[in-house]
């Protein structure tokens, strides 16, 4: 293996551009599977939530061989909330394949992932995917990508990027639109041509490897994954670990593994250029540098963009607390969050300062980033209560001015709905950057405060009848834009404990939208529906029909209810206000007021939401 040429590549793109599908095709044609082996689609998306949501959440490694050259591939997430997964692996690769849809062109997240590659002086390979689409416009998309490179201050060498065209789902890549191909050979050849040999003299230097990803194995413990930049690593070698805080300690590599196809295989030695997995160092962390004992040269720290949103993870204090969950205490929650911090570098956790509630303030890159963690905890048997998402404000170090995170939002909607959406974005302090229309659909780009988009996605879906497309990406910080109108409707709050009855719910339907079905267990302070007006309404959803011994025509018909609104975790987090919580258990999601009784709510009626400073 020491004489084998090694190339490390990452596949980067906006969500749904076809990254995982392309990796499937690369693995298939790179000999990672037997000829008769059955392979699931998007095989790299092995996590349950990745399968269910249809997105990549975690960066993952695999390898293939082409003409005797080993190609390590890193599959990366495309969603903006998981961009920390992209940031930390960029230093481990020699080049990136930038995948762009032949119809959509470069999207907001494309800009972010490309900027990270250009900053590290990588020279990308552009692949314009899905050229079989009826509305493909590959040549225009190429021009748009060129403009994007110029906007991101790419150097002359980077601007001279190679381009291939392809259909990832069919495993096809071609050098031009006019010359069809039968496989991915043009892409393989481009990769080999693009990346020169890793300098062989670096293998003779003293060891330097930086950990970019962590994993866990139930048999051998914590694993560190990263690239060997110089020298060699051997199984059983005693090394120096230069920590992120500047300290240095000794450790021993008990097992050394490399990727072959989708599997990790044990090896006795690996050389510069290889991506390896090591075990034996229990407290290894992302960014740590593995060095020779007699030559400690720490590498530059892996920098990750700061979190933009926070939620409070609280101990569940509802009347139903502990009925179905296995882990319900603050100690359980703290241990789980500490475990998550070891592998999730985009996350931060702070203890709550308030002595009246038990819990933690968790900071992440967005609602989806945090909701994936909540869903994982829920499936593991945790019970907790989650507060309304809040953006993280900053102060200008020079002027002291309060700054808030902004988002660049691109919406594509049928023309008849564009006016409604534009009006709502304007009300939310958004500033229109660009607008384009082909007479059928309008494409509008806005710069808008991140907090203005909390709760907007469900409105957007309803207003566009499900036909609108909205994509978002971080767009820096700007001065605080002032107050923004939140939810327009109040809620219906249960004032009784018990099971809901169809008779009571039938009467409540006239007042708004129900969130519960008949025979649902409820408690005082639990939210059972949305009020049609802007005030909260205390109701009794457990009231039954009074029984008499007299029958009358037309009064004994069965109650027919409109289907109730069942929220997903993300929808529930977007929906709640500052005085409400989402109660998360392994079985149920419930909305509730922070203060359950009417007396408590009256006492806190004049409380105002605290702005993070």
Binding residues for GTP: 16-21, 129-132
CA angle 593, 595, 599 (to 5 degrees): 125
Whether the CB-CB separation of 255 and 264 falls below 8 Å is answered with: no
Rounded-to-integer distance, Cα 559 and Cα 556, Å:
9
Whether the CB-CB separation of 419 and 427 falls below 8 Å is answered with: no
Helix (H) or strand (E) holding 402: strand 402-414
Instruction: Report CA-CA distances (Å) from 438 to 102, 442, 588.
Output: 17, 7, 45
Phi and psi dihedrals of 158, rounded to 5? -70, -35
3-state SS assignment for residue 600 = helix
Burial class (CB in 10 A: 0-12, 13-18, 19+), 194: middle
Phi and psi dihedrals of 303, rounded to 5? -95, 135
3-state SS assignment for residue 334 = helix
Rounded-to-integer distance, Cα 425 and Cα 404, Å:
17
Whether the CB-CB separation of 589 and 582 falls below 8 Å is answered with: yes
CA angle 36, 37, 39 (to 5 degrees): 135
Burial class (CB in 10 A: 0-12, 13-18, 19+), 527: buried
**Lookup: tokens for 7:** 């190339």
* Terminal Cα distance for the chain, rounded: 54
Phi and psi dihedrals of 358, rounded to 5? -100, 130
3-state SS assignment for residue 599 = helix
Q: What single-letter DSSP state applies at residue 295? A: B
Whether the CB-CB separation of 76 and 114 falls below 8 Å is answered with: no
CA atoms within 13 A on the CB side of 70: 20
Strand order in the sheet with 263-266: 248-252, 238-242, 289-291, 208-217, 221-230, 275-279, 255-260, 263-266
Instruction: Report CA-CA distances (Å) from 302 to 221, 232, 287, 317, 343.
Output: 23, 22, 6, 39, 14
Helices and strands: H and E segment counts in the chain: 14, 35
Binding-site residues = 16-21, 129-132
Q: Comparing C-alpha atoms, which of 590, 521, 584, 591 is closest to residue 379? A: 584
Name 274's Cβ contacts closer than 8 Å, sequence gap at least 6.
1, 6, 72, 227, 228, 258
Q: Would strands 60-66 and 125-129 be described as parallel, antiparallel, or unpaired?
A: unpaired
């Amino acid at each position: 293996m020491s004489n084998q040429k090694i190339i490390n590549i990452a596949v980067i793109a906006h969500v749904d551009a076809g990254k995982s599908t392309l990796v499937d095709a690369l693995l298939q044609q790179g000999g990672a599977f037997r000829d008769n082996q059955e392979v699931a689609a998007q095989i790299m998306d092995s996590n349950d939530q990745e399968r269910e949501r249809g997105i990549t959440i975690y960066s993952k490694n695999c390898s293939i061989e082409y003409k005797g050259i080993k190609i390590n591939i890193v599959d990366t997430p495309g969603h903006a909330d998981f961009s920390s997964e992209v940031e930390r692996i960029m230093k481990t690769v020699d080049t990136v394949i930038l995948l762009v849809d032949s119809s959509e062109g470069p999207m907001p997240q494309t800009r972010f992932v490309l900027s990270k590659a250009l900053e590290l002086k990588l020279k990308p390979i552009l692949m314009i995917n899905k050229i079989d689409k009826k509305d493909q416009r590959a040549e225009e998309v190429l021009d748009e990508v060129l403009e994007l490179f110029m906007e991101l201050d790419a150097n002359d060498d980077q601007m001279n990027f190679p381009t291939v065209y392809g259909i990832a789902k069919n495993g096809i890549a071609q050098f031009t639109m006019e010359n069809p191909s039968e496989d991915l050979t043009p892409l393989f050849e481009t990769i080999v041509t693009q990346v020169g040999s890793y300098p062989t003299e670096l293998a003779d230097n003293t060891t330097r490897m930086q950990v970019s990803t962590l994993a866990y194995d139930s048999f051998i413990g914590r694993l560190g994954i990263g690239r060997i930049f110089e020298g060699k690593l051997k199984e059983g070698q005693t090394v120096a670990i230069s920590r992120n805080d500047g300290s240095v300690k000794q450790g021993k590599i008990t097992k050394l593994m490399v990727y072959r196809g989708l599997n990790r295989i044990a090896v006795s030695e690996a050389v510069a250029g290889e991506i390896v997995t090591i075990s034996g160092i229990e407290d290894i962390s992302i960014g740590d540098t593995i060095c020779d004992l007699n030559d400690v040269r720490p590498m530059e720290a892996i920098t990750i963009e700061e979190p933009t949103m926070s939620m409070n993870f609280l101990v569940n204090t509802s009347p139903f607390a502990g009925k179905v969950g296995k882990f319900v205490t603050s100690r359980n929650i703290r241990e789980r969050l500490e475990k998550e911090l070891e592998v999730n570098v985009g996350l931060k956790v702070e203890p709550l300062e308030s002595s009246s509630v038990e819990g933690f303030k968790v900071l992440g890159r967005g609602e989806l980033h945090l909701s994936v963690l909540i869903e994982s905890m829920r499936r593991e048997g945790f019970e907790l209560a989650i507060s309304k998402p809040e953006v993280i404000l900053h102060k200008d170090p020079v002027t002291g001015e309060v700054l808030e995170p902004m988002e660049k939002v691109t919406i594509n909607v049928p023309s008849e709905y564009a006016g409604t959406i534009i009006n709502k974005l304007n009300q939310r302090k958004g500033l229109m950057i660009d607008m384009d229309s082909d007479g059928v659909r309008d494409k509008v780009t806005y710069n808008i405060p991140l907090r203005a988009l909390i709760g907007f996605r469900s409105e957007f879906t309803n207003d566009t009848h499900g036909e609108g497309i909205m994509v978002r990406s971080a767009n820096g910080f700007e001065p605080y834009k002032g107050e923004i109108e939140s939810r327009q409707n109040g809620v219906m709050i249960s004032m009784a404990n018990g099971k809901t009855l169809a008779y009571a719910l039938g009467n409540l339907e006239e007042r708004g939208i129900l969130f519960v079905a008949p025979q649902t267990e409820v408690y005082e302070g639990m939210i059972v529906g949305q009020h049609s007006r802007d005030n909260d309404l205390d109701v009794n959803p457990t009231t039954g029909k009074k029984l008499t011994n007299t029958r009358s025509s037309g009064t004994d018909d069965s109650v027919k209810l409109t289907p109730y609104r069942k929220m997903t975790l993300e929808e529930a987090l977007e929906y709640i206000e500052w005085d409400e919580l989402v109660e998360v258990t392994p079985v149920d999601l419930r909305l509730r007021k922070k203060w359950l009784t009417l007396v408590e709510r009256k006492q806190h009626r004049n409380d105002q939401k605290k702005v993070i400073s």
